[in-house]
């Protein structure tokens, strides 16, 4: 039942509207007229016009193949670098702040040279068009440099978030058939050195073929490596310094990168983003939604390992020729004052962050932003989860000084870039609601039978027209129409449709409030987890009979809990609990560690044996369990409550 899945109880709504300030509207990149000029599929030419094409495309959309800008040819790195050299070679492209107070900057010319040297280095190791190169690094400048070097060579990159375990890295490399890995010796995490090198080596030995590795010396601990297939990044780039690599011209629909994300199966799923469609979408939305201008300093603290980092740290902003601030420490690794200090010091114009981060700021207190000069800011944005009213208002007032619009951007790894949001110089904001579909995007909120849901009542969010940033895997619609599960409504009335697997509510004015996932994917602290992935890791442990991983809301933040029942011969010991934590860290990574592991003799189930997760979410959130009518064994609820010491 959809109603069971919609986390409506966790939300409050408002009809309040906030108009963008005049000072913002006057200078906005996109006006209401621009939006009305953009219509239908042909409108996407407007997005493609943000790029330089080696060969113009003949068709905006090729129905038979589902390709955007068919016939068009381009190179993504050339669009992010080469074409900017005439106008802004001495403008800063990247400003990087390290964990230990280091600061490195690269002008567009310097970045261009760096990328060429690394591309030449990779080429000397045999990397060519179509070869998947895995990148496993924290946010250091070498990461975007290597991404662009791969793009230059037409080699798809696979960036794996540095918090993933060796096993998770190996799974992705195996699936991508990647034989080259660029990693680094390690990084600091809350003051402790973490060795990435060891994890990378563990991953490589489990792979069937020899992997060529390139190691960035970030901590200064990389030693001369006698191994055959291992190279030092700095040596490689010095050897090839001054070399030029002609950008490999790619077809629009050819892959730019793969990124793995959590789906509803036990294994991570590959998402392929294309060169022309994806990059057009990234550049156009960076312009229209994030209002990026070349003279801006732009900061999005998302880790580059996730899609937000790909689209709105690297590709979109660099395609537009702006200055990008990179912070090695993610928002959760920064002190209470640091975000504001960085904004003041670098005179940041645009700050694009997550609701989780904003809630952390709220908790720390407004005295922190209030004591810095944040007047350089012009626009604020959030992504990743619904933003609650309180966090929205706080951001708008204390960070934006009621002068900066806030864009609440809804999108996904699969969508490549923004689909639903307000356009900041045009639309009124409705706090807590993402906004309206961007021009060219057709979105609908449907009931289970595929009919439009009534205004104000929950339904399934479905996109009914293709868009350029969509993952290549979505081009063929049959796959979705044929699906029969609770997360997908009846789509038979549509020729093509993409079920987002999010629940949403649309109001009378067309504003869409996204409620959260209706499938078995959890969004916790800006990370996306497949419950199946976590649960199958837990049930592999000897002594575990069953497991359910669910989310809960505690102290205003979304957390993840694991409920575990053991086999008769196993006992609920602290050691077992530690084994469960260690297993999750080992198979996925430390960032996936649940907040709690709760032992229970049974999991709440329907009479047909399906786990009723909503009950566990309610209990974990300290709420009354609203309805146990579907639960065949309601007595377990009381048992779980008592083991959690909830009366
Ligand atoms: C959620 C992140 C509400 C949603 C770019 C989606 C949001 C999932 C918003 C994708 C938003 C993202 N309001 N929910 N503005 N933005 N989401 O793939 O549930 O890591 O399906 O991509 O995040 O997460 P992903």
The count of structural domains within the chain is: 2
End position of a domain, from candidates 231, 248, 265:
248
117 found inside a domain? yes
Helix ranges, 28-136 (H)? 32-37, 45-48, 76-80, 85-88, 108-124
Q: From the CB of 323, is ligand 1 less than 6 Å away?
A: no
> Which ligand 1 atom is nearest residue 420's CA?
15
Q: From the CB of 388, is ligand 1 less than 6 Å away?
A: no
* Separation of CA 289 and ligand 1 centre (Å): 16
CA distances from 209 to 69, 134, 181, 533 (A): 37, 14, 12, 25
* Separation of CA 61 and ligand 1 centre (Å): 26
Token pair 């700021």 is found at 361
> Which ligand 1 atom is nearest residue 412's CA?
22
* Separation of CA 371 and ligand 1 centre (Å): 32
* Separation of CA 315 and ligand 1 centre (Å): 19
End position of a domain, from candidates 248, 278, 298:
248
* Separation of CA 87 and ligand 1 centre (Å): 36
* Separation of CA 414 and ligand 1 centre (Å): 10
Indicate which residue's Cα is closest to atom 6 of ligand 1: 412
Q: From the CB of 422, is ligand 1 less than 6 Å away?
A: no
- 75-118 pLDDT tens trace: 999 999 999 999 999 999 999 999 988 999 999 999 999 999 99
* Separation of CA 384 and ligand 1 centre (Å): 4
Q: From the CB of 516, is ligand 1 less than 6 Å away?
A: yes
Instruction: Indicate the SS3 state at residue 403.
Output: coil
- 210-263 pLDDT tens trace: 999 999 999 987 666 556 789 999 999 999 999 999 999 999 999 999 999 998
Cα dihedral 104, 105, 110, 113 in deg (nearest 10): 40
Q: From the CB of 261, is ligand 1 less than 6 Å away?
A: yes
Q: For position 216, which CATH number holds?
A: 3.40.50.980
* Separation of CA 274 and ligand 1 centre (Å): 20
User: What pLDDT was estimated at residue 481?
Assistant: 54
Mutate to test the pocket of ligand 1, among 311, 385, 519 (most ligand atoms within 8 A of CB): 385
Q: From the CB of 386, is ligand 1 less than 6 Å away?
A: yes
User: What pLDDT was estimated at residue 8?
Assistant: 45
pTM attached to this predicted model: 0.95
Q: From the CB of 307, is ligand 1 less than 6 Å away?
A: yes
Distance of alpha carbon 285 from alpha carbon 273, whole angstroms: 16
Q: From the CB of 184, is ligand 1 less than 6 Å away?
A: no
Distance of alpha carbon 353 from alpha carbon 488, whole angstroms: 29
Q: Output the CA angle 569-575-581, nearest 5 degrees.
A: 110
Mutate to test the pocket of ligand 1, among 410, 471, 524, 558 (most ligand atoms within 8 A of CB): 410
* Separation of CA 504 and ligand 1 centre (Å): 12
Q: From the CB of 385, is ligand 1 less than 6 Å away?
A: yes
Indicate which residue's Cα is closest to atom 22 of ligand 1: 412
Distance of alpha carbon 416 from alpha carbon 122, whole angstroms: 26
Q: From the CB of 517, is ligand 1 less than 6 Å away?
A: yes
Q: At what angle do helices 166-176 and 196-205 cross, to 10 degrees?
A: 50
End position of a domain, from candidates 203, 220, 248:
248
* Separation of CA 410 and ligand 1 centre (Å): 6
Indicate which residue's Cα is closest to atom 19 of ligand 1: 516
Sequence-ordered list of residues with C-beta below 8 angstroms from that of 635, at least 6 positions apart, any chain:
none
Sequence-ordered list of residues with C-beta below 8 angstroms from that of 306, at least 6 positions apart, any chain:
161, 259, 413, 526, 527
502 found inside a domain? no
* Separation of CA 383 and ligand 1 centre (Å): 6
* Separation of CA 412 and ligand 1 centre (Å): 5
> Which ligand 1 atom is nearest residue 261's CA?
18
Residue 179: closest CA among 130, 118, 131, 121: 131
636 found inside a domain? yes
Q: From the CB of 310, is ligand 1 less than 6 Å away?
A: no
462 found inside a domain? no
Q: Which residues of the chain have pLDDT under 70?
A: 1-13, 222-227, 476-484, 646-647
169 found inside a domain? yes
* Separation of CA 608 and ligand 1 centre (Å): 31
* Separation of CA 279 and ligand 1 centre (Å): 20
Range of the domain at 217: 108-248
User: What pLDDT was estimated at residue 17?
Assistant: 96
User: What pLDDT was estimated at residue 6?
Assistant: 55
* Separation of CA 455 and ligand 1 centre (Å): 22
616 found inside a domain? yes
591 found inside a domain? yes
* Separation of CA 448 and ligand 1 centre (Å): 21
User: What pLDDT was estimated at residue 129?
Assistant: 98
Mutate to test the pocket of ligand 1, among 357, 384, 395, 518 (most ligand atoms within 8 A of CB): 384
427 found inside a domain? no
Q: From the CB of 305, is ligand 1 less than 6 Å away?
A: no
Q: For position 602, which CATH number holds?
A: 3.30.300.30
Sequence-ordered list of residues with C-beta below 8 angstroms from that of 81, at least 6 positions apart, any chain:
93, 108, 111, 112, 115, 148, 318
Neighbours of 122 (CB within 10 A): 28
φ, ψ for residue 423 (rounded to 5)? -90, 120
Long-range CB pairs of 602-610, under 8 A, 24+ apart, other chains included: 602/565, 602/633, 602/636, 603/546, 603/548, 603/563, 603/565, 603/636, 604/628, 604/631, 604/633, 604/634, 604/636, 604/637, 605/631, 605/632, 605/633, 606/630, 606/631, 606/632, 607/632
Mutate to test the pocket of ligand 1, among 414, 502, 517, 591 (most ligand atoms within 8 A of CB): 502
Indicate which residue's Cα is closest to atom 10 of ligand 1: 412
Q: From the CB of 183, is ligand 1 less than 6 Å away?
A: no
Q: From the CB of 384, is ligand 1 less than 6 Å away?
A: yes
* Separation of CA 500 and ligand 1 centre (Å): 10
φ/ψ region of 543 (left if φ > 0, alpha if ψ in -120 to 50, else beta) reads left
């Amino acid at each position: 039942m959809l109603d069971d899945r919609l986390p409506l109880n966790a939300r409050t709504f408002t009809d309040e509207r906030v108009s963008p300030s005049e000072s913002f509207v006057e200078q906005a990149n996109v006006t209401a007229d621009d939006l009305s000029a953009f219509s239908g599929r042909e409108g996407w030419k407007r997005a493609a016009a943000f790029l330089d094409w080696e060969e113009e495309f003949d068709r905006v959309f090729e129905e038979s193949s589902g390709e955007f800008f068919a016939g068009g040819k381009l190179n993504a790195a050339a669009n992010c670098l080469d074409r900017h050299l005439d106008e802004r070679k001495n403008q800063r492209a990247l400003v990087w702040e390290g964990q230990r107070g280091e600061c490195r900057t690269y002008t567009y010319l310097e970045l261009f040279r760096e990328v060429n040297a690394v591309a030449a280095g990779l080429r000397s190791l045999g990397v060519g068009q179509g070869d998947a190169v895995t990148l496993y690094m924290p946010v250091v400048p070498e990461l975007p440099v290597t991404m662009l070097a791969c793009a230059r060579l037409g080699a798809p990159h696979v960036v794996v978030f540095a918090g993933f375990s060796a096993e998770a890295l190996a799974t992705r490399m195996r699936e991508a058939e990647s034989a080259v890995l660029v990693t680094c010796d390690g990084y600091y995490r809350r003051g402790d050195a973490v060795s990435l090198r060891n994890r990378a080596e563990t991953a490589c030995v489990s792979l069937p073929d020899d992997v060529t590795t390139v190691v960035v010396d970030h901590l200064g601990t990389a030693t001369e490596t006698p191994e055959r297939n291992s190279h030092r990044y700095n040596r490689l780039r010095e050897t090839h310094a001054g070399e030029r690599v002609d950008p490999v011209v790619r077809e629009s629909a050819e892959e730019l990168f793969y990124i793995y994300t959590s789906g509803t199966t036990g294994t991570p799923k590959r998402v392929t983003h294309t060169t022309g469609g994806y990059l057009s979408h990234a550049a156009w939305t960076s312009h229209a939604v994030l209002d990026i201008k070349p003279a801006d300093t732009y900061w999005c603290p998302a880790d580059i390992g996730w899609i937000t980092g790909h689209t709105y740290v690297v590709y979109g902003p660099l395609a537009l020729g702006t200055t990008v601030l990179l912070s090695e420490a993610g928002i959760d690794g920064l002190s209470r004052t640091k975000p504001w200090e960085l904004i003041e010091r670098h005179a940041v114009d645009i700050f694009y962050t997550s609701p989780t981060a904003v809630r952390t700021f709220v908790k720390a207190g407004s005295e922190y932003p209030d004591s810095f000069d944040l007047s350089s800011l012009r626009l604020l944005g959030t992504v990743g989860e619904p933003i609650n009213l309180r966090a929205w208002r706080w951001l708008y007032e204390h960070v934006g000084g009621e002068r900066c619009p806030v864009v609440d951007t809804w999108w996904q790894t699969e969508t490549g870039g923004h689909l639903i949001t307000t356009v900041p110089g045009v639309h009124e904001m409705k706090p807590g609601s993402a906004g309206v579909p961007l021009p060219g995007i057709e979105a609908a909120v449907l009931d289970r039978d595929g009919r439009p849901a009534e205004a104000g009542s929950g339904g399934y969010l479905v996109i009914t027209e293709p868009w350029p940033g969509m993952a290549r895997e979505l081009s063929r619609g049959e796959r979705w129409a044929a699906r029969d599960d609770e997360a997908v409504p009846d789509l038979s009335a549509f020729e093509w449709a993409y079920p987002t697997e999010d629940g949403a509510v649309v109001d009378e004015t067309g504003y869409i409030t996204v409620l959260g996932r209706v499938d078995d994917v959890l969004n916790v602290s800006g990370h996306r987890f497949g419950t199946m992935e976590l649960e199958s890791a837990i049930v592999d442990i000897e002594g575990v009979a069953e497991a359910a991983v669910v989310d809960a809301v505690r102290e205003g933040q979304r957390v993840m809990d694991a409920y575990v029942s053991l086999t008769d011969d196993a006992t609920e010991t602290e050691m077992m609990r530690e084994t469960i934590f260690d297993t999750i860290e080992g198979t996925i990574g430390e960032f996936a560690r649940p907040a709690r592991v709760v032992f229970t003799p049974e999991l709440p189930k329907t009479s047909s044996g399906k786990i009723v997760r909503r009950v566990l979410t309610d209990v974990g959130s300290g709420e009354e369990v609203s309805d146990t009518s579907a639960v065949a064994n309601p007595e377990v609820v009381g048992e779980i409550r008592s083991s959690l010491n909830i009366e």
